[in-house]
């Protein structure tokens, strides 16, 4: 397989689906003339033209609403937010219209739409540009939420999201667009709602997703030197969540650590904790530990930010805690 960047995988997924289906189009701020804020739509304006790669005004509420109406009328828009922090301006269209229109119309309208863009922190971008809202959207019936962690998963899952008849939230990261990974030349998709065991292990299960999973990999490498075997599960899809893969792993390792870049109250890790303790309580040999950011807005100071964001040392401490070491 060839090696390409995360941004190239995203671009390929969108372009391939647009070539197959003329109802698919891309819209958002700077997606056309500028080739995308993160160059994830590079070359698409030249190939598909301004009617299918559309630069919008700085008005998330406006173009999110246009996309929802367009989807209800038979199109399949891909909406790029420059960051999901800015999606808050258009969240009414996502939550109250896209997610609910199938039910409210009695099935008369579908809303095949993908809202995509970066999530969570990306360095010194301060409090209003460093937020992870996966759990907000996953809390909404009618939405699917995907957070890939590598180019291969990003391409396969984005193609599935574009083909899906319902609204999908597809969350990326500014800090992953340059990441490289192996991606096949040919056509492939990855089913929505299927987690993957990225690393086999025996002693403890670590569940994570998105860019923060890199800290789990780094921790597992260090722990292996001490004879501790970590099994790492990448959720890939937050909703629908693949409970079976998590439960199967926990029943094998008997211990669970969850790593998530989000505030600690009412997050994805909380839901996983509930599902495991309710369905596999008798298999647990230690209380579940979840690792999150500090319960404050993201600081701008690099020293404070380093303390705020979970890292591989936090994962190592958590693993040793559940192993009583």
Q: How far apart are CA 185 and CA 147, in angstroms?
A: 22
Active-site option among 17, 80, 129, 312: 129
Active-site option among 8, 12, 29, 60: 60
325: DSSP letter:
-
Q: Which helix (H) or strand (E) holds 258?
A: strand 256-259
- Axis crossing angle, helix 151-163 with helix 6-20, rounded to the nearest 10: 30
261 given a catalytic annotation: no
Q: How far apart are CA 41 and CA 53, in angstroms?
A: 9
129 given a catalytic annotation: yes
- Axis crossing angle, helix 243-253 with helix 268-279, rounded to the nearest 10: 60
CA gyration radius, the chain: 20
Q: How far apart are CA 208 and CA 225, in angstroms?
A: 21
86 half-sphere exposure, CB direction, 13 A CA radius = 18
- Known catalytic residues are 60, 129
């Amino acid at each position: 397989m060839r090696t390409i960047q995360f941004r190239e995988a995203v671009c390929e997924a969108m372009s391939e689906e647009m070539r197959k289906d003329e109802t698919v189009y891309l819209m958002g701020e700077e997606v056309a003339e500028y080739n995308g804020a993160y160059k994830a739509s590079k070359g698409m304006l030249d190939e598909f033209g301004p009617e299918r790669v559309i630069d919008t005004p700085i008005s998330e509420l406006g173009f999110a609403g246009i996309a929802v109406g367009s989807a209800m009328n038979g199109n399949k828009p891909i909406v790029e937010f420059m960051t999901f922090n800015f999606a808050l301006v258009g969240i009414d269209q996502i939550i109250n219209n896209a997610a609910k229109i199938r039910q409210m119309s009695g099935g008369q309208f579908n809303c095949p739409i993908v809202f995509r863009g970066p999530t969570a922190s990306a360095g010194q971008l301060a409090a209003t540009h460093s937020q992870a809202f996966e759990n907000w959207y996953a809390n909404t019936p009618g939405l699917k939420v995907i957070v890939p962690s590598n180019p291969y998963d990003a391409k396969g899952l984005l193609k599935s999201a574009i083909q899906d008849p319902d609204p999908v939230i597809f969350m990326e990261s500014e800090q992953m667009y340059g990441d490289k990974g192996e991606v096949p030349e040919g056509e492939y998709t990855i089913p929505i709602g299927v987690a993957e065991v990225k690393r086999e292990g025996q002693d403890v299960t670590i569940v994570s997703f998105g860019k923060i999973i890199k800290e789990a990999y780094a921790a597992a490498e260090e722990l292996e030197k001490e004879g501790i075997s970590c099994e790492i599960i990448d959720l890939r899809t937050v909703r629908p969540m693949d409970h079976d893969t998590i439960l199967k792993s926990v029943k094998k390792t008997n211990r669970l650590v969850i790593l998530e870049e989000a505030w600690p109250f009412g997050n994805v890790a909380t839901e996983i904790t509930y599902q495991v303790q309710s369905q596999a309580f008798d298999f647990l040999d230690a209380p579940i530990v979840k690792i999150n950011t500090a319960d404050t807005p993201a600081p701008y100071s690099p020293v404070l930010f380093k303390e705020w964001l979970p890292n591989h040392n936090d994962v190592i401490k958590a693993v040793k805690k559940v192993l009583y070491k």
